[in-house]
Amino acid sequence: MTKINISKRLKKIADMVDKESMIIDVGCDHALLDIYLSKNVLNKKIIASDITDGAVNQARKNVSLYGAFNVEVRKGDGLEVVKETDHINTLIISGLGNQKIESILKRNIQVLNDIDTIIIQSNTGYDKIRKQINNIGYYVVDECLVKERNIIYVIIKFKKGNIKHSKKELYFGPILLKNKPSLFKELVQNEINNNNNIIKKLPNKNLLKKFSMIIKNILLKKEIHY
């Protein structure tokens, strides 16, 4: 049987998945993560879903190529593919932007009743994602950073529970703030550099915006001076 190799980013996501989970991976694309999970982590059931025919066809081909027989591929929009009888307890969404992720969660919120673990790798707006998922009754239990092709990805694991994070924790990530992993400085410095580029281009009439971004950069710098 063909051995599966996955990217560093997907491997980090897989490392966050609990054994014996019942998983839905929304936006699976090639389903390589799900096939890896099926082969390397003891999971009871994995639904790999995607909205496009191309992705679903490729996912089915890969599942059969690698013989990942507990991966079921379904076509559909977001969480609409999940049935009550699936008894899914873990949701993975990776490689999408925060607005899309937020809309997927909002549109089928009832599916979350059974879900106690959510693992997210959003390409944008990690603070917004943390805030939204914290507001709907989950809190951050694990976070990690991974750098691939010069991009730093943030991976966040949530568990159901009513622990509320502070504004600062939602912004930087409660676990990232506590552990300050080696890529944390680089992630925050990248944000400071982006802000500086915006500040330089802002016309003088936007003085208030300029000023608030300068203050923001001072606060960001404070977090990486250790």
How many residues touch ligand SAM under the rule CB under 6 A: the total is 16
Least separation in angstroms between residue 7's CB and ligand SAM is 7
User: Is residue 13 a contact partner of residue 41, using CB atoms and an 8 Å limit?
Assistant: no
Cα angle 131, 168, 100; round to 5: 25
Distance CA 113, CA 204 (A): 50
Q: Report if residue 24 touches ligand SAM, rule: CB under 6 A.
A: no
Phi, psi of 160 (to 5 degrees): -65, 140
User: What's the min distance (Å) between Cβ of 52 and ligand SAM?
Assistant: 4
String of contacts with ligand SAM for each residue 106-125, x by CB under 6 A: --------------------
For the segment 70-109, give every residue that binds ligand SAM (CB under 6 A). Answer: 77-78, 94-96, 100, 104
- Least separation, in Å, of the C-beta of 124 and ligand SAM? 12
What is the signed CA dihedral for 216, 152, 93, 11, rounded to 10 degrees? -150
Q: How far is the CB of 100 from ligand SAM (least distance, A)?
A: 6
147 binds ligand SAM (CB under 6 A): no
Comparing CB distances to ligand SAM, the nearer of 18 and 77 is 77
- Three-class secondary structure of residue 139 per DSSP: strand
Q: Which tokens sit at 15?
A: 């490392």
Whose Cβ is closer to ligand SAM: residue 101's or residue 170's? 101
Q: Is 6 in the site for ligand SAM (CB under 6 A)?
A: no
The candidate with the shortest Cα–Cα distance to 129, out of 154, 165, 151, 101, is 101
Q: How many CB atoms lie within 10 A of CB 153?
A: 23
Residues 6+ apart with CB under 8 A from 4: 32, 35, 36, 39, 66
User: Considering only residues 4, 22, 51, 183, which one is a binding residue for ligand SAM as defined by CB under 6 A?
Assistant: 51
Residues between 148 and 207 with contacts to ligand SAM, criterion CB under 6 A = none
Interaction site with ligand SAM (CB under 6 A) = 26-29, 49-52, 55, 77-78, 94-96, 100, 104
